[in-house]
């Protein structure tokens, strides 16, 4: 019961009161959708594509990420802005709430909650729900935009569009497999990053934990390696979209393990954390 009360409080304070941050996914999805739509209209005029695509084309265009970068003196590394933005805006939205809830009002909440475990689990539940709402906003905006601009309501990617604007492979494999790569993996990665930022934020200042995660995110876009978790949730680096990519099953296992480790480690850090005002530290 206590845990449920804390969750209710975190939903009210952490989601409803932070609703202004939901403008970030709205802006990013509009930016991504309008960019794709302009290209689709031009391609259709040039008769390179036959239709204005499906909702799934819009989704893939946003979350696909980039192919592995190979260093070349004559070619600059291009940051996959939409993919980075997806995670970056979530980290911005989540940053600071936990630490702010350890001051003033938060101390009241903690003492009234009677348990550090309940308090921490409340924050974990908040992070999960916030991430779900965050992704739901993307889906909703993409749905509204693409549908109102002539896209079909379908989860099936369009082959000719994928060939030009993403990778043709997205349209070649069973839809369940594509949904796993393009929705489940990025969602789990977002959740993992959110929880990791929260756990690290218990040790260091929130802004520093944000910088650390941003560094991991950008490094993941640059290097294709198992060691950089961003690769575990980037569709363009996943088999079968990219032959030398990572197996989705292994990526999901790594992400779930990472999430679990963050929850458990975060609790043990929080259990031993001194809750002091900044002037006392």
Partner 1 sequence: MELEIKGLYKNIKQAEVLKGINLTLQGGKIYGIQGKNGCGKTMLMRCIAGLVLPTKGTVTINGKILHKDISVPESIGILIENPSFLKEHTGFENLKMLASLQNGLSDEKILELLESVGLSDAKNKKFGKYSLGMKQRLGVAAAIMGSPEIILLDEPINAIDGEGVETIRKVIIGLKSEERIILVACHDKEEMNLLADEIITMSEGQIQMEGSTEYAVS
d(CA 7, CA 18): 15
Query: In the complex, what is the shortest distance from the CB of residue 187 to partner 1, in angstroms, rounded to a whole number?
Result: 30
Side-chain half-sphere CA neighbours of 181 within 13 A: 29
- In the complex with partner 1, the residue whose CB is nearer, 115 or 154, is 115
Interface contacts to partner 1, rule CB under 8 A? 2, 5-6, 8-9, 12-13, 17, 103-105, 107-117, 271-277, 280-281
Identify any residues that bridge with 54 across adjacent strands, giving them in sequence order: 152
Contacts of 94 (CB under 8 A, 6+ apart): 127, 130, 194, 197, 198
Query: In the complex, what is the shortest distance from the CB of residue 276 to partner 1, in angstroms, rounded to a whole number?
Result: 7
Query: In the complex, what is the shortest distance from the CB of residue 110 to partner 1, in angstroms, rounded to a whole number?
Result: 7
- In the complex with partner 1, the residue whose CB is nearer, 47 or 280, is 280
145: helix, coil or strand?
helix
- In the complex with partner 1, the residue whose CB is nearer, 119 or 242, is 119
- In the complex with partner 1, the residue whose CB is nearer, 13 or 168, is 13
Identify any residues that bridge with 246 across adjacent strands, giving them in sequence order: 238
Q: Is the dihedral of CA 62, 91, 241, 170 positive or negative?
A: negative
Query: In the complex, what is the shortest distance from the CB of residue 277 to partner 1, in angstroms, rounded to a whole number?
Result: 7
d(CA 6, CA 119): 7
């Amino acid at each position: 019961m206590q845990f449920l009360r804390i969750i209710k409080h975190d939903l009210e304070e952490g989601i409803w009161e932070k609703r202004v941050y939901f403008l970030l996914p709205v802006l990013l999805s509009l930016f991504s959708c309008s960019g794709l739509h302009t290209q689709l209209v031009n391609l259709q005029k040039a008769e390179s594509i036959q239709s204005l695509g499906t909702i799934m084309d819009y989704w893939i265009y946003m979350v696909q990420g980039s192919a592995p970068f190979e260093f070349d003196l004559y070619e600059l590394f291009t940051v996959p802005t939409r993919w980075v933005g997806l995670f970056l805006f979530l980290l911005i939205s989540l940053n600071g709430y936990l630490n702010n809830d350890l001051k003033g009002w938060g101390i009241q909440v903690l003492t009234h909650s009677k348990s550090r475990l309940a308090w921490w689990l409340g924050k974990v539940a908040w992070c999960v729900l916030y991430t779900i709402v965050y992704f739901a906003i993307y889906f909703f905006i993409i749905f509204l935009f693409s549908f109102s601009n002539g896209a079909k309501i379908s989860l099936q990617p369009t082959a000719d569009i994928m060939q030009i604007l993403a990778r043709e492979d997205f349209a070649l494999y069973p839809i369940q497999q594509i949904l796993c790569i393009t929705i489940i993996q990025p969602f789990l990665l977002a959740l993992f990053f959110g929880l990791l930022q929260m756990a690290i934020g218990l040790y260091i200042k929130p802004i520093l934990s944000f910088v650390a995660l941003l560094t991991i995110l950008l490094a993941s876009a640059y290097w294709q390696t198992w060691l950089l978790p961003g690769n575990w949730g980037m569709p363009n680096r996943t088999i079968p979209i990219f032959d030398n990519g990572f197996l989705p099953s292994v990526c999901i296992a790594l992400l779930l393990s990472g999430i679990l480790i963050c929850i458990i480690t975060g609790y043990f850090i929080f259990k031993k954390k001194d809750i002091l005002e900044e002037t006392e530290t």
